[in-house]
Amino acid sequence: MASSNESNILILIPLLVSSLMGMVVFANGNLNQHFDITWGDGRAKILNNGELLTLSLDKASGSGFQSKNEYLFGKIDMQLKLVPGNSAGTVTAYYLSSKGATWDEIDYEFLGNVSGEPYILHTNVFSQGKGNREQQFYLWFDPTADFHTYSIIWNPQRIIFSVDGTPIREFKNSETIGVPFPKKQPMRIYSSLWNADDWATRGGLVKTDWTQAPFTASYRNFNAEACIWSSGASSCGSSSVSDASAKGSWFSQELDVTGQGRLKWVQKNYMIYNYCNDTKRFPQGLPPECNIS
């Protein structure tokens, strides 16, 4: 016969489960629990009891991993330490993506460079299979010397890219002027380290120096407050804004005055390419979202 304490626990368990069904799932800690190594024939490793993940690239192959879960909206953080030294020709991609011909995608790509030259942080947003929304930045630190946190806030109103808590890019929902926005297709997290010396460094002029191989990028401290998609439904229930209090502040988060100021600082001092300024690329007129302040 159960004791009174055991009875109380048995009563609480279904209540807890039912409350979690409409809540954000908090994921952190052991990388083994959240990611599968998908390719690389042993070049990708999960180490230190799940605390560290490394991807490696040599002349034969790169490597990659993906999340076990699919997500539909979330605040997702990962710490990365990029390939050190002469990394020219290598690309470390870290992104969210759905599947299919009209996929959605939220991209970080880190384009390596010769020793002493800055990495280029390349960002892009795809919706309904259409991208061409690149913004590129230099970083205000050496991303190979230590781990730094690269974050994506993705909610129904906007996507915010942040580095160590500093916003570098915001892509707003502009469906009212006919711009598709990623909000219906669940996405997995993917990352890969691969050779792109046909285009990545000065348009392919600088080739990968294979005497420096293997090249290694490292990952740790994954954290997600997110809506997990499973069996055709979200762990957060309805995606309406009225549910935002149950989901967390990120679900309706926007940049406050301080965040807007930091975003402008990054874009003034460290942005090196913005598709919204590339009139040669869009001779028929810039994409409609570029005309919104």
pLDDT (tens, 9 = 90+) of the chain, 293 residues, equals 444 444 443 333 333 333 333 456 677 779 999 999 999 999 999 999 999 999 999 999 999 999 999 999 999 999 999 999 999 999 999 999 999 999 999 999 999 998 889 999 999 999 999 999 999 999 999 999 999 999 999 999 999 999 999 999 999 999 999 999 999 999 999 999 999 888 777 777 788 999 999 999 999 999 999 999 999 999 987 644 445 555 679 999 999 999 999 999 999 999 999 999 999 999 999 999 999 86
pLDDT at position 8 is 44
pLDDT at position 254 is 96
Specify whether the CB–CB gap between 89 and 112 falls below 8 A. yes
**Is 109 part of the annotated catalytic residue set?**
yes
Provide the residue range defining the domain that includes 251: 31-231+245-288
Cα-based angle 219, 224, 226 (whole degrees, multiple of 5)? 145
* CA 14, 15, 18, 19 torsion-angle sign: negative
CA count, 13 A, side-chain hemisphere, 46: 18
Residue 237 lies in a domain: no
Residue 281 lies in a domain: yes
Catalytic residue (one of 70, 109, 225, 289): 109
Task: Report the CATH number at residue 109.
Answer: 2.60.120.200
pLDDT at position 26 is 72
pLDDT at position 116 is 87
Residue 64 lies in a domain: yes
Residue 11 lies in a domain: no
SS (H, E, C) the chain: CCCHHHHHHHHHHHHHHHHHHCCCEEEECCHHHHEEEEECCCCCEEEHHHCEEEEEECCCCCEEEEECCEEEEEEEEEEEECCCCCCCCEEEEEEEECCCCCCCEEEEEEECCCCCCCCEEEEEEEECCECCCCEEECCCCCCCCCCEEEEEEECCCEEEEEECCEEEEEEECCHHHCCCCCCCCCEEEEEEEEECCCCCCHHHCCCCCHHHCCEEEEEEEEEEEEEEEECCEECCCCCCHHHHHHHCHHHHCCCCHHHHHHHHHHHHHCEEEEHHHCCCCCCCCCCHHHHCC
Catalytic residue (one of 70, 105, 225, 289): 105
Number of structural domains, the chain? Answer: 1
CA count, 13 A, side-chain hemisphere, 55: 31
pTM of the model: 0.89
Give the CA distances from residue 237 to residues 27, 125, 248, in Å, rounded to whole numbers and listed in that order: 18, 25, 13
End-to-end Cα distance, the chain = 67
Residue 147 lies in a domain: yes
**Is 254 part of the annotated catalytic residue set?**
no
Residue 202 lies in a domain: yes
